Each structure stands twice: as structure tokens, then as C-alpha cells.
Structure 1
Amino acid sequence: MSDSGKISMKTENEERFAGAFSILQSSKVGAGTTAQKHVQTMNVYAEEKADGTFSLRYLNDNFVPVGKAWTVDKDTLLTEYTPEPDLYMNKVYPAMRELSKTIAHAERLRESNQTYSAEYEFKRALRIDETNIRATFGFGLVYLDRNDAEKAELVFRRLVTLEAAFDREHKHLFNEFGIKLRRAGLLDQALEFYGRAEEYSHNDENLHYNRARAFEAKGEVGEALSSLEKALAIRPDFHEARKFRDGLRKGPSAGRKAVSGGRNGME
């Protein structure tokens, strides 16, 4: 941002612009002769995309971007929104950095099997942003790591309502979560979770493979075979899926025997 308030577009080798802006939004309260116009200042976080447009999200009370993003072009951003550089430098950037560090620390704790410490850190992150996808997944995975099916079920119910949970950037997280639901014996939940994920990720062969594992564990061999065929249609050289399918065609016990150890998001 230059002193004149203009946004300087970045070259391919430079970091894309990010900043805070405000906009006045009006709403009508009441009806008829008692109706009143209410004007409110809303703060947003703007991030430049590869095509030169800007992705905007509202800032919550903790100054981190939350909710579904929308896109505006550069002219709209400059004419309809007011730059708030001090807000960004003093509040937004530090809050986003702290949230990112907290989640990363929680994930490291979980990976080292310090599940109670990880739970505490994920809770800290969710107090900053109650809709944060990485923290919510992490919270649920901690409970599944501890075989606490009741608490994991509560997190599962929240995740299936969050569309952003199934964005491709979270692919490894929703695959791992589904795997752990199955391993915990929560087969119906695992299948519901994979079904929800499929609504947003049609061409994920690992998703179909993992769904087949859950169907097979539930005794629904036909559905398992159908999921494996979908996985192979996406990736014909998917060795594990082909081996599993060929085994299942001989019978459930042969199918289970054919399943190898999980890798690349499979288990």
C-alpha cells in the first residue's frame, strides 16, 4: 500500500498483498413509521489472489478472518472499502500469526502423542477462531487418538456442517479423520463423513478407497466394490485399490487379507 492509499500489484516473485479494510453497512430495523436505519462499520481481511482479484473475509472480535470468503476486483476494493493499515499491523497480523503458531504447536504435540497438551492448545486456538478448520479437525483427532468416541462424535457433528472442512487444502485432514472414525468403530459416522466429503471432492481416489474400507467393515461388500471402482476410474494404477477389489470379489475374508498397510492418506 503506498502513501496515497493505492494498492501496488505484485509481480510473480513478490508476496501478494494482504491487508485490513472497513466498509459501512446499513440495515433497516423495525417496520413502517418506526423503521430506523442502522449503520455499522464492518472490518474485513483482504488477500490478493493469483488472478489479481481479492478474497475478502470478515474479521471477528479477535481480529482474525472468519466465515465464507467472497471475491471483489481491485477497483471495487479501492472505491467501496477504506484501507485500515494500522488495524492490520497492530491487530490483525499479530492475531493471525498467534493463531497459526498455536495450531502448529498443537499439531506437533499431537504428533508426539501429548494428547492432553494438544487438546489444551487446540482449545486456545478455537477461542480465537471458533470456526477454524485445522483446529477443529485437530480437536476431533485428539479425542479419536484417546478412543474417546463420545467427544469425537460431538466434533464430528460440527465438522459435517462446515463446508470449508472439505476444501482440498484440508484433504489430508478429512481423510485422516474418516480413517480414525472407522478404526474407532464409528462406521456410520465414517461413511456419513466420507459422503459429505464426496460432495466437494469428486476426484479423490483415496477418499473412495477409504470409504470402501468403511463399507467393508460394515459388511456392505457391494458398496465397497462400487467405491473401489470409482477409485480405479480416477487412478487406474492404484495398486492397493485393485488388490482390495480383486480380493473382495473372492469374498470378504480374502478382501480383508488383501488390504495392505495404509499410506498416502489410506489406512
Structure 2
Amino acid sequence: MSKKTRRPNTHFERPAEGDVRAKKHLGQHFLKDENVASKIADTLHYKDYDYVLEIGPGMGVLTKYLLQKDAEVHVIEIDTESVEYLNEHYPKLHGKIHEKDFLKYDVSEIFGTKQFAIIGNFPYNISSQIVFKMLELREFIPEFSGMFQMEVAKRICEKEGSKTYGILSVLVQAFYEAEYLFTVPPSVFNPPPKVDSGVLRLTRKEDFSLACDEKLFFRVVKTAFQQRRKTLRNSLKIFQLPDDLREDSIFGKRPEQLSTAQFIELTQKIEPHAVSNK
């Protein structure tokens, strides 16, 4: 009786000569499906801004469709090999390829105070950090779209009452309308990831200033979800709030029960008492 042979991974494709090798430490999974790339490029509306910044373009499968749009496209890429490939294959990008780490780079060096959109097939290992940096830059970013690990994309778009609703959901939805657009299978990448991917779009709200102290709002949301199984009365003890305030009914809820608007209301209640705790 013959031994059972191990089936080869037929989904992985070795890079063709001249192509960029995917690097595990950079979380690279190169999109290879042209239809999916075109669909992602179409998720932006290209209105009210003249510039688009693509994060992590790799070999430019999405970039080529962005270059067909009515916007000036810039790309930011940390991988030297990818930068060389883009310079060789996309002459339209010359002078607009920035070999930088988006998380550490001051993008005002590219756009100044101009409005710009962000798009990309984001490395899953830093996708949440990309969103947090986008929120810091929200006054300049009216639109943001791209591909995440599916569960992260759905979490960002989730509403209160769900177990997956959390810090990213509340903070993003305070400033943006969040839409989960479509799911993408592992087979459209090389190498294929172990999970499905999801594409979302964030559209900045017309009035994206909050009716509360915004720094305190971020602190309240993050502190509440760090102990998400506890009621707010217990998880927010660090703020040393007076007993009469903590008797308010909102403090009897758990964080996943509060909508973004209720978190703003909660911050308003805490604000007069939190001055000395900043």
C-alpha cells in the first residue's frame, strides 16, 4: 500500500523573473486579480480632492487603475524592491513614489494642507495602525478605502450591540460614514493569505468635529473597551468620577451597548470632572 503523498500548494505562484518577491515580515500578499483591483479603484468617488495616496502599492496592480482616474496619484512604499519595480514599470509615477514608512512619515511634506484620499491593499499586520494614523489626519482626508483582513473591515463598520464592535468602530464612526463593500477570497493573492479579505469605504462626515473634548473622547472609548466585559461604572474608575455622576444610568451599561453618539454624550458628562486627570 503506497504512502499518502502530500498535496502541493497549487495556489502559490513563484514570482516571474523581474517580479517582486513577497516578504513575510512586511505582510505582503500581492493582489493578482485585475477585476478586483479595478473594483477597489472604483470605490473612491474622486470628488472634493485632487490627490490620492496609495499605501503599499507593491507591483502596482491597483495603481494602474488609479492612474486612469481624474486625480494625481502618489504612492508610499517601504519596500525598496517594490520601489525599483514601480519606477521601472510606471513612468507616470516618477517623482510621486515615496520610499517611506507611512506610519512614521509626515505626509504634509507631499500634500501640505491640501485634501487627499487614501487607498490601498493594506498589510494586515499594520492595518489598524494605518486607520489610527488616518484619524489623526482626518481634517485632510475626506475619503478612505481599501482592503483589510475581513474581520477587521467588518469590525470597523460594525454597530453597537455586536461582540465585534469596539474601539475602531466607535472612533472611525465618530468622524466617518463606514461601509463594508465586498469580500475577497484568498485565491486572488500571491501568496494567498489564510483568511478572507474585505473592502470598505470611509466617507468623512460633513460636520466631523465632536461636541466634546476630542482627546478625552479617545481616552474614554479606549479605556472603556480595555475592560469591555465590565460596566462603565467599573471600567472608567481611572477617571475618579464623583459617586453621584457614576449613578447615572449610562454608567450601568457595557461599552458595546453604546452608540458613537452615546459615547460623545458620556464624554460630555465626564468632561467637567476630568480636567485634573488629563
- Place the TM-score, normalised by the shorter chain, in its bin: 0.3 to 0.5
Q: Which has the larger helix fraction?
A: 1
| TM-score, L = length of structure 1 | 0.33
Bigger RCO (CA 8 Å, 6+ sep): 2
